Every structure is written in structure tokens, then in C-alpha cells.
Amino acid sequence: MTDRDAAGDAGKKSLKLLLRLSTVGATLGLAACGGGNGGGGTTPVANRPPAFTSVTTASVTENFAGSFYQAAATDPDNNAITYSISGGSDAARFVLDGDRLRFATAPNYDLPTDSDEDNVYLVQITASDGQATTTLDLRVTVTNDREGVVVRRIGSGFDRPVGFVSIPGDTRVFVPERGGRIFLFDPTSGTKTRYLTVNVSTAGEGGLAAIAPMADYAKSGQFVVLYTASNGALIAAVGQRSGIFGSPALTSETVLVAAMPAGASATGTAQLAADGKLYIATSDAIGATDPALGSQSGTSVFGKLYAVERNPDPFAGASPQYFLVRRIASGLRYPSGTTLLDGRLLLADRGGDSRHEVDLIDPTAGSNFGWPYKEGTVTVRSGAPAGLVDPALEYRFGTGPGMGTGIVGGIVYRGAIASLSGQYVFADRSGAIFATSAAKLGGTLITASTIERRRADFAPDVGTLSEPTAISADASGTLYIVDAGGDIFRVDAG
């Protein structure tokens, strides 16, 4: 290689080096200028909200007070997450401890407090990472606990039975049917024997309403039957266990007789109470042109409550009078059962289209409960007299939650089921079974908001309990329910 060639090669290498340095410089310059886009540095990544991973439904059994749901979410930026209750129609019913949800007060399936009273509670939970939030709509279903109630069918095949009546001195009971037949029924074996058939009219509200033995039935064999006669009259007649030809029969003796206004019908209830007295309650003349002529009339038998006792001196007057009949309340529409509570009577009275009620009656007060001017506490007709007495309990006529189409009087429970102890247990012919504290009757008016709806607890093992007609109890406190469909049920502890 000549000196000229060597010098040429050196120049070429110097030129390549300069070109490389120039390219690197240009690249560094572009980077410093943000790639030539005019920016002043790296663009930050936007915060992303949390995402829930927990489910949108939960279930909890009534009376459970602990936490039952754990909220869970992830954050794509790994930020810390906090949870809160942010809405929902039932938000006030809940407490959120960190990520764990519980009811503020243990839920009661029989007395729901959700906004539409169907035991499905709606609440919203929000997850936050401090900058962004996400909301979850949670549905919480409260399920039933039967709370020791077991309902067993012990009788069937009756035709519209209307009662289950204990008999002094006998383990059997009377079961009357609206059509006029009365049976002796053995609750243990389920056997039934025809006792008596009464000739009745079932037009309108008529028929055989009740049978009640006298307190001394074991000795005297006497009882009273309340029924609508074939001529339409409402009659409370005395019967005798050993009547004509030694068979049970009605006598010619009557306790009450009420001729029926044209186009009207009536019914009532009769019961031997624990105080040894017989109480007979009559309905108003349902369908009469002017019902005020009945329940508000001092001379009418309709719409009244009577106490019946044996006359200790039946021959004191011009003609024998074997029973003393004393009116103790008026202003009734459609009585459907009585029971004693601490010396006073609880009487269920069925409303027409506004309110059903339970009246607490002092047998010495002569109270007027207002029909046809009032149903419960609601005025339904103007011109009411002064001094009307409001009920101890009322609920609305209707088919919605806590409503009903016809109250059926009950008993104060004294049996072995703890969840019913001290409760006034009653029913509605719509199929509902209700319970409320008997001790609170007579204080502040009890309404649907505090009456437990225990129909689910009383679902029977066999048969259907769809139209209760009577609730009763035996000497041990065991509760029995009669259904219009022909079944009789016993309520046991379980």
C-alpha cells in the first residue's frame, strides 16, 4: 500500500465516525424533546376503579344476628380498598363492619321490615380505593325458621267444620259443621261419631254457628247450640245429652231468639269460658236495610255479647227461668271467637271492608264497640253516639301483607312451644296465622306493623290449612286449628 492509499483509508474512517456521532446526537435531542411531540415528560397512567368479586345475593335465616356476607373486590392498581353502605331501599336495616355485613337488628321472617315486606332486602355496597368507586347491588333473602312449631293433621272428612270444643269430663271434643251436624271427635285416635243433627238454614251467613257445653255438662248433660233456624231466626237453644229416646236432642228451652229482618242473615259464636260462664256473641243482621237497628238498638239481640249463667232460683218468677242472660257489650258486626285474658274477654270481630278488630271487654262495663259507625278505629258512618270504645288490635281488610278477609278469633297460648308462649294466636279466613303478645293487648293499639305473620311456621305435614274457621286449646294448652276444607290440625312442639 502506498502512502497515498493509507491516507485515503484514514480519511474514510474519520468521516464514518463523524456520521455516527451526528446520528447519536440527533437521537438524544429527539428524546429530550419528548419524541418531537412537544411534551414535558412521561404521561402518567390513569387510576382504575376497584372491581367486586363477591356475589350479588345472600341468604340468612331469621333471628341470626351475626355477619353473613363478606364484601370482596380487587384493585388493578393495588391500592387499598374500603367498603361502605351507600344506598338501597333497605340500607337502614344493615351495618357494615369493615367488609362484613350484618343486620342492625336480627331479622324476623314473620315480621319483615324490608320496604315491600317480602323478606328480600335491597342494599348497595360501595368499594373505594380513595380515588375511584364501584357499587354492588346486593339482594339479601331472609328465610324462615319454624321456631319449634310442628303442625299435624289429626282429622279429616268433615264438611265445613266450624269449631273444636272441649267437653267437661270427656277426652273427646265436639266438632260442629255449618250444615247442622255435630260430631264427637277423639283427637288421639281420629275417630268421629255423629252426636246430633240440627235442622238449620245456611242461607247467607246462616247455619250452625257453635255448640257450647254447660260447665256442669258431665253431670247435667246440657249444652247450648247457636244456629239459624229454617225460618231464618237466630236461636240459642238448650240441648240435652239424654233427650228423646236417650239420644242427644234440643229441648224447647231457648236462651236467645232473634227474628231475622227480610233479606238479612246472622251468625255468631258461643263458648264456655274458663270462668265457668257461657258467652254468646251475635252478629248484626248482615244485609239488613239499616244495620243500626240491630247492634245499636237496646231491644235487638243482634250485634251483642251476652253472659249466660244458670239461675240459682229458676222458680222465683211467674214462670220458670232456668238461665240468666246478661248483655255485656254491643256494637259488634261479626264476632268470630272469644277467649279469656285475666278476667276480661278477647273478642274477634270481622269487618266489612275496612278493619278487622280484637276487642278487650270488661264484662262489667257494658261497652259499645261502634258498629255500624266504626270498624276498628276508622269511622265508616256519621252520627255515632258518644262513648264508643276502640279495639285493642286492628288490621286492614284486603289481600296485601298483614291484611285479611275475615278475622278468626284465637286463644292465648299456654302450651310447650317457647316461641308462642304468652302469644295471642289467631287467624284469618284467607289462610293467615297471626300472633302478638297478649300482655300488650289493652295498651297502645296493636296494628299490622307489630303482628307476626306465622303462616309459614304453621304449614301442616299433610293437607292444607287454607281457610281456618276456629282455633282452640285443650286443658294442657295444646293448640288446635279447624279448616273449612274439612281438616283438623294439632300444633305440637318440635
For residue 90, give every residue at least 6 positions away whose Cβ sits within 8 Å of its Cβ, in sequence order, or none.
113, 114, 115, 121, 122, 123, 140
Q: pLDDT tens digits, the chain, 494 residues: what are they?
A: 444 444 445 444 443 433 343 444 444 343 444 444 445 567 778 999 999 999 999 999 999 999 999 999 999 999 999 999 999 999 999 999 999 999 999 999 999 999 999 999 999 999 999 999 999 999 999 999 999 999 999 999 999 999 999 999 999 999 999 999 999 999 999 999 999 999 999 999 999 999 999 999 999 999 999 999 999 999 999 999 987 667 999 999 999 999 988 888 999 999 999 899 999 999 999 877 665 568 999 999 999 999 999 999 999 988 889 999 999 999 999 999 999 999 999 999 999 999 999 999 999 999 999 999 999 999 999 999 999 999 999 999 999 999 999 999 999 999 999 999 999 999 999 999 999 999 999 999 999 999 999 999 999 999 999 999 999 999 999 999 999 999 999 999 99
Q: Is the omega angle on the peptide bond into residue 372 within 30 degrees of 0, that is, cis?
A: yes
What Å distances lie between residue 393 and 403, 438, 445, CA to CA?
Answer: 13, 11, 6
- Three-state SS annotation for the chain: CCHHHHHHHHHHHHHHHHHHHHHHHHHHHHHHCCCCCCCCCCCCCCCCCCEECCCCEEEEECCCCCCCEECCEECCCCCCCEEEEEECCCHHHEEEECCEEEECCCCCCCCCCCCCCCCEEEEEEEEECCCCEEEEEEEEEEECCCCCEEEEEEECCCCCECCCEECCCCCCEEEEECCCEEEEECCCCCCEEEEEECCCCCCCCCCEEEEEECCCHHHHCEEEEEEECCCCCEEEEEEECCCHHHCCEEEEEEEEEECCCCCCECCEEEEECCCCCEEEEECCCECCCCCHHHHCCCCCCCCCEEEEEECCCCCCCCCCCCEEEEEEEECCCCEEEEEEECCEEEEEECCCCCEEEEEEECCCCCEECCCCCEECCEECCCCCCCCCCCCCEEEEECCCCCCECCEEEEEECCCCCHHHCCEEEEEECCCCEEEEEHHHCCCCCECHHHCEECCCCCCECCCCCCCEEEEEECCCCCEEEEECCCCEEEEEEC
The model's pTM: 0.88
Grid cell digits, residue 96: 357494615
- In angstroms, rounded to a whole number, what is the distance separating the alpha carbons of residues 274 and 126? 59
152-175 confidence digits (pLDDT tens): 999 999 999 999 999 999 999 999
Question: Model confidence over 421-458: pLDDT tens digits?
Answer: 999 999 999 999 999 999 999 999 999 999 999 999 99
Domains of the chain: residue spans and CATH: 51-143 (2.60.40.60), 149-493 (2.120.10.30)
